[in-house]
Amino acid sequence: MAKFNLHPERFFDSNPEVRNLAGKIYRTTQDMPIISPHGHVDPWLFADNQPFPDPAELFLIPDHYLYRMLYSQGIRLQALGIPTRDGAAVETDRRKIWQTFAEHYYLFAGTPSRVWLNHEFAVVFGIEETLTADSAQRIYDHILEKLQTPDYLPRALFDRFNIEVLTTTDGAADTLEPHRLIRQSGWRGRVIPCFRPDAVINIHAGAWRGEIERLEKACGFGIDSFQHYIQALEQRRLFFRENGAVSTDQGIFSPYTHELSAREAEALFQKALQGTATEADAAAFTAHMVMEMARMSIEDGLVMQLHPGALRNHNQAVFDQFGADKGCDIPVMTEYTHNLRELLNKYGNDPRLTLVLFTLDESVYARELAPLAGHYPAVRLGASWWFHDSMEGMRRYRRMVTETAGFYNTVGFTDDTRAFPSIPARHDLSRRMDAEFLADLTARHIIDLDEAIALGRELAYGLAKKNYKL
């Protein structure tokens, strides 16, 4: 049996002085509550509070970080039980799926996925051996046994993980029914929605007209003009706020912003209703709607998040067969300085706006994002995201933005996950890497230990709570 142990000082610098300081800083943050201000965990998980079916459903099937790596090595998504769009047959034997995963677990060496999973296996489930082809079924049985106990129900794990707030991601027309059921259940866990309007803003998407019909149903009136469209979005934002939301989020290709005239906006909206909007029309409409979202955030107080820079569904064959969010979103070069200038000149000096900027393009951290956040009162920097929420990605992020933006123009850590059991593992990694960065500054006498400890607690908890108005 190949045993594994999580070293208590894992990820810290090998320099003894820095390692010792990092441990001291980390130990003051490791048990702090978790604030998860942006993610994709299904709220029905907590509304229903039913046992997780099995290890494959818990770890692998909802986590595109995992199956994108397996797919890259020639393992078909059907073999991993990933549902198809047309209902075509996929592997349903969960033990077989788990065995395939275990046989290829070595592929994740050096990746954040391996770090998170090892934490989940050891800390959450008490597993003491490495996942291999030989150990696969023993570990499967061990996890399955745990999942059948009350301590491993979703709400119990939420409480055990010490999650103070968990934010989901919800479409503009969503009923938020699971959030209502959670509140009515008497359970004290705080699970709140986030307003995600992408589906009703991208006028070139094939499903846009159907999403507008859903929005009409949710609002109770017809949307036949741009004015009615704006009224509908404002109404829905108010509904989200009444159901606990504190933020909005937009996943856009480019952060380009430009305000259209009322006539231009109406003309594009009518083209969209008629099904004649082009890709260029959609880009112009989105640029205007980012401006509108900023205006609305100033008026209703919702924190505004932008996640640009991903070419979504790059692998057309996978998208056609399995749909969106299957690990096929690839980063592109992203420009912020020129693209955001119009928005920031109009709204960036307004203290009522909090605009959290994320990126998949690390090259802009020091050149553009840190200077923007280091100047405009409205701008905050989101955490290193997706491909960069890793050991080295977090280290690069802090090194590239801190000298210009400081610590207090960032918002702490955002786990952005669909895989619920990975939340404490992801936050633990972030807290360790921040402790190591702060320890290095302390060892070089740039800050003292007391300040490093205070900053560590802000990065782990305080900044997210403050900036997301929680």
**pLDDT grade for 385, boundaries at 50, 70 and 90:** confident
Task: Band the pLDDT of 177: cuts 50, 70, 90.
Answer: very high
- Could you tell me which residues come within 8 angstroms of residue 332 by beta carbon, excluding any fewer than 6 positions away? 253, 309, 310, 311, 360, 361
What is the DSSP track for 11-44?
TS-SSHHHHHHHHHHHHTTTTSPEEE-S----TH
Q: Dig out the tokens for 363 from the structure.
A: 């090259």
Kindly tell me the number of DSSP H helices and DSSP E strands found in the chain: 22, 11
Q: Are 266 and 203 in contact (CB under 8 A)?
A: no
User: The pTM is what?
Assistant: 0.96
User: For strand 310-311 and strand 330-331, is the pairing parallel, antiparallel, or unpaired?
Assistant: antiparallel
In the numeric block, the tokens 């707030």 are attached to 165
Contact of 328 with 405, CB cutoff 8 Å: no
> How many whole angstroms separate alpha carbon 327 and alpha carbon 467?
29
First to last CA, the chain: 46
Q: What are phi and psi of 170, to 5 degrees?
A: -135, 135
Over residues 12-61, the pLDDT tens digits come to: 999 999 999 999 999 999 999 999 999 999 999 999 999 999 999 999 99
Query: What pLDDT, on a 0 to 100 scale, did the predictor assign at position 325?
Result: 87
Is residue 407 over pLDDT 80? yes
Rounded to the nearest integer, the mean pLDDT of the chain is 96
The ranges of the chain annotated as CATH 1.10.2020.10 are 51-152
Largest CA distance in the chain: 70
For tokens 């009136």, what's the residue? 221
Q: In what order do the strands lie in the sheet with 303-306?
A: 170-171, 195-196, 247-250, 303-306, 355-357, 379-381
pLDDT tens digits, 269-327: 999 999 999 999 999 999 999 999 999 999 999 999 999 999 999 999 999 999 988 98
Per-residue confidence (pLDDT) for residue 3, from 0 to 100: 66
Exposure letters 3-13 (e unless 16+ CB within 10 A, then b): eeeeeeeebbb
Q: Which residues contact 235 (CB under 8 A, 6 or more apart)?
A: 219
pLDDT tens digits for range 80-107: 999 999 999 999 999 999 999 999 999 9
Average pLDDT over residues 458-466: 98
Tell me where in the chain the CATH 3.20.20.140 domain(s) lie: 16-50+160-467
3-17, 162-176, 226-240, 331-345: range with lowest mean pLDDT = 3-17
Residue 255: both structure tokens together: 């952060």
Class (C level, CATH) for 16-50+160-467: alpha beta
| DSSP secondary structure code for residue 390 in this structure | S
User: What would the pLDDT profile of 208-224 be if each residue is shown by its tens digit?
Assistant: 999 999 999 999 999 99
Q: Which homologous superfamily is 51-152 in?
A: uronate isomerase, domain 2, chain A (1.10.2020.10)
Query: Token pair for residue 67?
Result: 């199956």
Cα–Cα distance, 388 to 468 (Å, whole number): 22
Mean pLDDT of the 424-431 span: 97
Average pLDDT over residues 150-175: 98
Nearest alpha-carbon partner for 411 in 368, 356, 369: 356
